[in-house]
Chain A
């Protein structure tokens, strides 16, 4: 049933893709589109409909001062190789020492995603040779990860209408702690590879989502919700552009009632928008391929954001055997809860799951519900508020400082402020109009001192950020509504007097 839920979205994705690249796809497009167009069991060509299946593997860089197993700092865009400890460079004889903060971040994230937290989890070595993996292996949690069996609810709108939102759930298979790799830069002209180990050893949480999604829009919505949760928890800054959140999508298609098809893994997706595009493209591609009698290879593909398509990644070494092995230098990671916490244990040395649970902040879903309840705004408005960093606070500040009803304020926030910010690619924090000024302006409007048209004019002035108050602008531009009847009469009389001919014409009919 889930597969049909996004049929509408699916059709749109189709149309969007029509102008895209991939000439080989053109011929089949109509058929595939019909097949997916609705709950019709067979398409024009007599084929059964396709059910796309999408699963995600998300690497979230843990927001922490130091790396997962070493004391070196974590910082984006620091000078190359300036944040590398002996351990990070894999000097012989160095040993990993687990960073408590990273464990807490993973526990927090696990709890927020309704996972059961494993009180005992293990670390493993995953071996492969690569220039930016100095030890020749990555320390990860292959056998027993720190958190398992969770779920994430996310909402998306149908047919791009804010008013039609549906909530879906994706199961979280597991969250595992692991090391990030360094970065290799290939200089083709000088045929050399430069390695920056600043990122090597930074803590990652790999969140594995079960294949419960069926289109790009769903995948994008799920990742967006995860991103909000991580940012709310502070467990990851989760900025995709800075690589703090990396999403790989596993995509396959099959006919209903049949086993899942061969899946491909799509990598190199660096924004949520591209995630939707990449997934939808890949679904299309697979359907086209299969309907043309082809087969899907179990391969890794990269999303090319410029061309808007996925291309096979060169897999130099063919099939990798990672030769997993328990990490012998780290004892099992033991977590405690209130019940199992030993009395004589130093609290600095243990991680208490219950303690972390009690201190979890309100998650986005709770925040939204509270906004809806407290201000009487529509649910979709609450989504819009949370979607922009700082917008909720802005909204609440305005509400506090104005007599205008929240229901009316939200319109100004979303339709006027937000669209202005978006037009100028500004964040809420960069807004030239503070919540105080906007509240001031809305108060003038609320007191009927100016019209809403005038208010928009004032706002246009305010954007300039010249430090004038709304009232000053109103006075300067004489935008106030005239409250004095005599003055109004005089103005009307003056207009009538000035247009004698027209008045006569009107009187004569």
Chain B
């Protein structure tokens, strides 16, 4: 598309309008919380002027993008899908948003998520659940014949995964070319897997978190959702680097890179961590996983089984660390400076209590409660300190494996394909998050870069992805392997009947997977 823009086959305004039209016709997906139509068109216009002058700002100029609604955007509502921040307009842009805008990207809107990114379904936000575009694909419809005709067709739709489900759905349904998510325990990779898109969680400290409303500061990373690995590399190049506003970003300058067009994996050593053969892993995915391993083997790579023995403690440990930081991070939402404020005015304390009761959903409140419990003086040693020690052990597991000569780890991203919403909500958020983060979350503990690459369709016609985990700050190697793999598996394009019906022409144009 970038080339098309350059050559004038399509103008940024046309592109933007088409995306906006698509957003409207796919409104039922509930992928967007806010659509910034006006500002987007203005940005597109500006971009068009630059192209006309022959001075585009770079490969991102004029490219329509979407941003998860937990990144601050000046002038556009930032809600975190919470009553607490409904109507909140931030006075500043998150660094990553600013970087996108500075490079000419057109910001279409803010995407849906679980409240404050706490969840793995994108079902627990105040604006309602996000629907997986694949629910409406020809592929899914053909394969998943309702067991009984009495079953409502409507209830068959599947979840996107989460918490960046809105961003994944937006990219998957062609309403934008790339989207920002956030990834704390798998929140970018999980929905990417369910929606059949590329989801990259870069190394902790490579991309600025300034302006990302935190879930767990020590694990949060802005995530990148795109249609192909090359696009993810472009986005990474435009976002990475030291930010003086985020002291946890690394000082070294980041050099954007281009991936080789014919990647070679023959000299690599691919590790298959046996602990990722987790209970509940679907046989389909297991088969796919070993097939993938064979692909590498056949390409001349060394494929070895490795062990990350402390992986099994990861979820419990995550629960303690996550809730503790959540309890702390959420303390600022007291109704005084911004956000929701309850009418209760008997005393400051009662106002706090009512504000927080009204502003947060059960999931957020539950995590705040348990987090505060873990931080109590009498519990701190037994829970928080222990969890930190376990976290170190988990990180060391990875270090050891990488030190032993393994370059990249190959694992499944999710235990199964996406489940129908009606199925999903039978379990509570906590149980779901624990199950769904199980394969993604250790990478956050260790701060490692990881990527979901869409691999195949399940028997039900839903996307399944595999995950690659790389060494710290070795994104280039990770993405090179991912690109090679992407080329091998030739993941099918989503066939969105409803989108096609409404926007036949638009769809044709949007089909080009890559914008780079």
A residues apposed to B, CB below 8 Å = 86, 89-98, 125, 127, 129, 131, 134-137, 193, 195, 316, 321, 323-325, 328-331
Asked whether B375 lies within 8 Å of A328 as measured between CB atoms, the reply is: no
Asked whether A90 lies within 8 Å of B245 as measured between CB atoms, the reply is: no
Tell me the minimal C-beta distance from B251 to chain A in angstroms.
8
Tell me the minimal C-beta distance from A329 to chain B in angstroms.
5
Is B334 among interface residues, defined by CB-CB distance under 8 A?
yes
Asked whether B325 lies within 8 Å of A90 as measured between CB atoms, the reply is: no
Bound together, the chains give a CA A331 to CA B247 distance in angstroms of 7
Choose one: A89, A90, A331; the contact of B248 (CB below 8 Å).
A331
Chain A positions within 8 Å of B218 at CB level:
328
Tell me the minimal C-beta distance from B78 to chain A in angstroms.
8
Tell me the minimal C-beta distance from B362 to chain A in angstroms.
20
Q: A92-B72, A136-B331 are in contact. Are A195 and B336 (CB under 8 A)?
A: yes
Bound together, the chains give a CA A89 to CA B88 distance in angstroms of 14
Asked whether B246 lies within 8 Å of A137 as measured between CB atoms, the reply is: no
Q: A86-B92, A329-B217 are in contact. Are A129 and B247 (CB under 8 A)?
A: no
Choose one: A93, A125, A195; the contact of B213 (CB below 8 Å).
A93
Bound together, the chains give a CA A154 to CA B247 distance in angstroms of 40
Q: A92-B332, A95-B209, A95-B247 are in contact. Are A325 and B324 (CB under 8 A)?
A: yes
Is B210 among interface residues, defined by CB-CB distance under 8 A?
yes
Q: A134-B332, A137-B331 are in contact. Are A129 and B352 (CB under 8 A)?
A: yes
Tell me the minimal C-beta distance from A213 to chain B in angstroms.
29
Asked whether B247 lies within 8 Å of A97 as measured between CB atoms, the reply is: yes
Asked whether A125 lies within 8 Å of B328 as measured between CB atoms, the reply is: yes
Task: List 21 contacting pairs A-B, 8 Å CB cutoff, sorted by A.
Answer: A86-B92, A92-B78, A92-B333, A92-B338, A93-B94, A95-B246, A95-B248, A127-B327, A127-B328, A127-B331, A129-B334, A136-B328, A136-B331, A137-B331, A195-B336, A323-B327, A323-B328, A325-B375, A325-B384, A329-B247, A331-B247
Tell me the minimal C-beta distance from B350 to chain A in angstroms.
12
Chain B positions within 8 Å of A98 at CB level:
247
Bound together, the chains give a CA A98 to CA B328 distance in angstroms of 20
Is B2 among interface residues, defined by CB-CB distance under 8 A?
no
Choose one: B211, B330, B380; the contact of A93 (CB below 8 Å).
B211
Given contacts A91-B337, A97-B245, A325-B328, 7 further A-B contacts (CB under 8 A): A92-B80, A93-B211, A95-B246, A129-B349, A323-B327, A323-B377, A328-B216
Chain B positions within 8 Å of A95 at CB level:
209-210, 245-248
Asked whether A323 lies within 8 Å of B248 as measured between CB atoms, the reply is: no
Is B458 among interface residues, defined by CB-CB distance under 8 A?
no
Bound together, the chains give a CA A125 to CA B214 distance in angstroms of 15
Chain A positions within 8 Å of B324 at CB level:
325
Asked whether A131 lies within 8 Å of B375 as measured between CB atoms, the reply is: no
Bound together, the chains give a CA A98 to CA B217 distance in angstroms of 17
Is B91 among interface residues, defined by CB-CB distance under 8 A?
yes
Chain A positions within 8 Å of B71 at CB level:
93
Q: A91-B91, A131-B348 are in contact. Are A323 and B332 (CB under 8 A)?
A: no
Chain B positions within 8 Å of A89 at CB level:
337-338
Q: Identify which of residues 198-218 in chain B touch chain A, using a CB-to-CB cut-off of 8 Å.
A: 209-214, 216-218
Chain A positions within 8 Å of B209 at CB level:
95
Bound together, the chains give a CA A93 to CA B93 distance in angstroms of 10
Closest chain B residue, CB of each to CB of A323: B375
Chain A positions within 8 Å of B91 at CB level:
86, 91
Tell me the minimal C-beta distance from A139 to chain B in angstroms.
11
Q: Identify which of residues 435-478 in chain B touch chain A, using a CB-to-CB cut-off of 8 Å.
A: none
Number of interface residues of B (CB under 8 A): 44
Bound together, the chains give a CA A102 to CA B19 distance in angstroms of 49
Bound together, the chains give a CA A437 to CA B500 distance in angstroms of 96
Asked whether B245 lies within 8 Å of A136 as measured between CB atoms, the reply is: no
Is B372 among interface residues, defined by CB-CB distance under 8 A?
yes
Tell me the minimal C-beta distance from B81 to chain A in angstroms.
13
Asked whether A328 lies within 8 Å of B217 as measured between CB atoms, the reply is: yes
Asked whether B375 lies within 8 Å of A324 as measured between CB atoms, the reply is: yes
Closest chain B residue, CB of each to CB of A193: B348
Chain B positions within 8 Å of A92 at CB level:
72, 78, 80, 85, 90, 213-214, 332-333, 338
Chain A positions within 8 Å of B210 at CB level:
93-95
Is B422 among interface residues, defined by CB-CB distance under 8 A?
no
Chain A positions within 8 Å of B336 at CB level:
131, 134, 195
Tell me the minimal C-beta distance from B415 to chain A in angstroms.
29
Tell me the minimal C-beta distance from B330 to chain A in angstroms.
8
Chain A positions within 8 Å of B94 at CB level:
93
Is B244 among interface residues, defined by CB-CB distance under 8 A?
yes
Bound together, the chains give a CA A507 to CA B333 distance in angstroms of 101
Counting from the closest, the 7 A-B pairs by CB-CB distance are A136-B331, A323-B375, A328-B217, A328-B218, A90-B332, A92-B213, A93-B211
As a 0/1 sequence over residues 60 to 72 of chain B, the CB contacts with chain A under 8 angstroms (1 = contact) are: 0000000000011
Is B57 among interface residues, defined by CB-CB distance under 8 A?
no
- Of listed B214, B248, B327, B328, residue having the most chain A CB within 10 A: B328
Is B281 among interface residues, defined by CB-CB distance under 8 A?
no
Chain B positions within 8 Å of A324 at CB level:
375, 380
Tell me the minimal C-beta distance from A121 to chain B in angstroms.
14
Tell me the minimal C-beta distance from A216 to chain B in angstroms.
33
Tell me the minimal C-beta distance from B291 to chain A in angstroms.
39
Is B376 among interface residues, defined by CB-CB distance under 8 A?
yes
Tell me the minimal C-beta distance from B61 to chain A in angstroms.
26
Asked whether A321 lies within 8 Å of B377 as measured between CB atoms, the reply is: yes
Bound together, the chains give a CA A244 to CA B348 distance in angstroms of 28
Closest chain B residue, CB of each to CB of A86: B92
As a 0/1 sequence over residues 205 to 242 of chain B, the CB contacts with chain A under 8 angstroms (1 = contact) are: 00001111110111000000000000000000000000
Chain A positions within 8 Å of B246 at CB level:
95, 329
Chain A positions within 8 Å of B216 at CB level:
328
Tell me the minimal C-beta distance from B389 to chain A in angstroms.
13
Tell me the minimal C-beta distance from A181 to chain B in angstroms.
13
Bound together, the chains give a CA A93 to CA B209 distance in angstroms of 8
Closest chain A residue, CB of each to CB of B208: A95
Tell me the minimal C-beta distance from B33 to chain A in angstroms.
16
As a 0/1 sequence over residues 236 to 263 of chain B, the CB contacts with chain A under 8 angstroms (1 = contact) are: 0000000011111000000000000000
